[in-house]
Structure 1
Amino acid sequence: MNASDPSRLRPRLPSPLVPVADERFARRGLTLLLKREDLIHPDLPGNKWRKLAPNLRAAAGRPVLTFGGAYSNHLRATAAAGRLLGFPTLGIVRGDELAGRPLNPSLTRCAADGMRLQFTDRATYRAKNDPETLAALLARVRAPEDTYVVPEGGSNALAVEGCRELGRELAGAADVVAVAVGTGGTLAGLAAGLAPGQRALGVPVLKGGFLGREVRALQEAAFGGPRGDWTLDERFHRGGYARTDPALEAFAQDFEARHELAIERLYVAKMLFGVLTLAEEGAFPPGTRVAAVVTGGPDGLPQPSVSR
C-alpha cells in the first residue's frame, strides 16, 4: 500500500445509518434516519473524506494546494491529511486583510498541521479558477512544479465520483436523502449513486441561487451528463454562508436535547431545519423514509456569532 493512500487511515465505511425516533416526523407518518458521515474519520469526517480521498490518491504523495475561507472545514481536513499521510499542504485563504492579524483557531489548526498559508485579496480569490490567475498564485507561493491542485471545497470530478459511494450506500434504504450543499460536489455524487425511485434533496447553506448550475457542471465533468433525481430548496441558508440566527440556534439546541447528538451549525443544522420545515409543510407523503446526511460534527472551534 502506498504511504500516501488514505485507506491507511482506516475509515469507518460504510458509515452508520441510524433511525431516529422523533414525534414531529412520526405523527406525519414519516421515518427519519441519520446517515452518520461524521463518524467516518475524526480528522477527515463526512463529505471531506468522500471528496478528499480520491484526490489524495491522484496526488500520490505530491504537495497539495487548495483554497478556502478563514473557517474552512476543507482547509482543516486537507491540512490534517497532510500531517497524517506525510505530504506538504498549501492553503490559499480568501481575504488579504487577514494577513496581518493573529490566526483564528481554524487557521491555527491548519498551521499546526503543517499547512503553509497564503492570504489573497477577494478579487483574485474569485478568479482562482482562471488558468492565468492560478498560475500566478502558484508562482507567488513558490509551489513545487508537481503540486496537485484541489479546488475550493474539494469539489471536482474525482470528488463527485467519491461521493457517488454515499448514494450507493443508501440505495434502497430511504426514499428522500437530504444533504447540505456548499460547493455542490456531495449532492452531485450522492444523486448519481442513488437507486431509481430515490430522490436527493439539497439544502444550500449560502445564498445566490447559483448552486444548481454548479451541480449540473460537476455531473457533466464526472459523468458526461446529468445523473439521478435531485432538487434544491434555497430557503434555509439563514442569510448566507457562516450565518446563523436565533431561530436556527433554538432549533439546533432542541434537536441536540431530543436526540443527544451535537449538531454542527453551519451545514447540518440548516439541513435538518429544512427537512423539518418541509415535513411540517406536508412535502413528504406519509410512509416516506427521509435520510438526513450528517456531513460533519462540531469541531470544538468557536462558532461564528448568531445574527440578530
Structure 2
Amino acid sequence: MQVPSPLTELRDERLRARDVRLYLKRDDLISPDIPGNKWRKLKYNLIAAREQGHHTLLTFGGAYSNHIRATAAAGARYGFDTIGVVRGEEHLPLNDSLTRAVKHGMRLAYLDRTTYRRKTEPDVLAALADEFGDFYLLPEGGTNALALQGCQELPAEIAPDFDVLCCACGTGGTLAGLAAGLRPGQRALGFSALKGGEFLAGDVRRLQIDAFGAETGNWAIDVESHFGGYAKRTPALDEFVADFRQRHDVTLDWVYVAKMLHGVFDRVRTGVFPAGTAVVAVVTG
C-alpha cells in the first residue's frame, strides 16, 4: 500500500496562461487492487469488522462495481471472507470486474432489481444472514461514517498550500470526508458523475452530520460536468482523455476522474478559478 499517495504538479501551458497551479493527488496509485477512495473508505470499516469479531464482509453493487472488486481484494489481503450481492441476474461469462472479485475469493449472490431496491430493509438483510451467516455489512459504494473518517485524512497528506480540493462524486461520501479534513479558508468542490446530481448536496450534508455531528459548509457540487450521465461519454470527453494522456502520460478513468478534471480545466479557462489559485485534484482511480 502506497500511503500517503504521491502528489505531482502538472506542467501545462493552459494553467500557466491563467496563473493557476494544479496538483494531482494520485490516490489511484495506492494499490492496483484497492485504489484511491476505495481504500480510504474501507480502512476503518476493516478495523471495525476485526474489532467486532467478524470474519466475513458482505456488500452490494452493480455488475461493474469497483467497490465490490476492491472489497474482494481487501478481504483477501486482510483475511476476511467476502460476499458480493450483485444487482440483477447472473450473466456468464462474468465481466472483468466480477471475474477479478471471484479470483480474490469472493462469493457472488444476486438479487432481482425489485428486491435490490429494498436491500437495506430488515427482512432482506435477515434473509441474507440466514443464507450466509454472520457478516459485517458494508453499504453499497462503501459510504458510511467510518468511510468518511478515512477520506478525512487525505488533506493532511498535502504539503503545499492550496485553495481548492476537487474530487469526483458518486455517492458524495468522498467529498463529505475530504471537506471535513480541510483547514480554514480552503474549500472542496465535487463533480457529479451523475445526471441530475442535485440530490447529492442533501446526501453530503446528511453524511457529515452522521459522521461528525455537523455539516462543514465549505464545499460545493458541480452538476454540469456529467457528459450525459453515469457511465456515459461523448466524443469531447474521449478527446480530453486522449489529449491528457498525450500531454501528461496519465490515462484517466472516464467514468469519474476525466469528467472531474475536464470540469477543473473548464474553470481555469473561464476564469472561475482566479489567477493565483492553487488546486488539488484527487485521482481516485
TM-score by length of 2: 0.94
Give 1:81 deviation, angstroms: 1.1
What does residue range 64-75 of structure 1 map to in structure 2 within 5 Å?
64-75=57-68
Q: Deviations over 1:174-200 (max 9, x none)?
A: 101110011111111100001011110
* SS of 1:64 mapped into structure 2: strand
Q: Residues of 2 paired with 1:257 and 1:135: CA distance?
A: 51
| Residue aligning to 2:138 | 150
Match of 2:83 among 83, 87, 90: 90
Give 1:283 deviation, angstroms: 0.8
What does residue range 238-277 of structure 1 map to in structure 2 within 5 Å?
238-277=227-266
Give 1:123 deviation, angstroms: 2.2
Give 1:95 deviation, angstroms: 1.6
Q: Residues of 2 paired with 1:248 and 1:131: CA distance?
A: 42
Q: Residues of 1 paired with 2:179 and 2:146: CA distance?
A: 15
* SS of 1:285 mapped into structure 2: coil
| Residue aligning to 2:8 | 18
Give 1:228 deviation, angstroms: 4.9
Give 1:212 deviation, angstroms: 1.1
Note if contact 1:248-1:270 (Cα within 8 Å) is conserved in structure 2: yes
Q: Residues of 2 paired with 1:177 and 1:261: CA distance?
A: 19
| Residue aligning to 2:113 | 122
| Residue aligning to 1:54 | 44
Q: Residues of 2 paired with 1:50 and 1:164: CA distance?
A: 9
Say whether 1:160 aligns with 2:153.
no
| Residue aligning to 1:134 | 125
Say whether 1:194 aligns with 2:187.
no
Give 1:157 deviation, angstroms: 0.1
AA aligned to 2:66 is: N
Paired residues in the alignment total 281
| Residue aligning to 2:34 | 44
Q: Residues of 2 paired with 1:150 and 1:156: CA distance?
A: 8
Q: Residues of 1 paired with 2:182 and 2:132: CA distance?
A: 39
Q: Residues of 2 paired with 1:131 and 1:286: CA distance?
A: 53
AA aligned to 2:133 is: P
More moved, 286-295 vs 102-111:
102-111
Q: Residues of 2 paired with 1:161 and 1:290: CA distance?
A: 22
Q: Residues of 1 paired with 2:145 and 2:215: CA distance?
A: 13
What does residue range 27-38 of structure 1 map to in structure 2 within 5 Å?
27-38=17-28
AA aligned to 2:62 is: G
Going from structure 1 to structure 2, the CA distance change for 1:238 and 1:22 (only over 3 Å counts) comes to same
AA aligned to 1:44 is: I
Give 1:263 deviation, angstroms: 1.3
* SS of 2:255 mapped into structure 1: helix
Which residues of structure 2 form unaligned runs of 5+?
none
Q: Deviations over 1:58-78 (max 9, x none)?
A: 111520000111111111110
Q: Residues of 2 paired with 1:240 and 1:92: CA distance?
A: 24
Give 1:284 deviation, angstroms: 0.7
Q: Residues of 2 paired with 1:268 and 1:258: CA distance?
A: 16
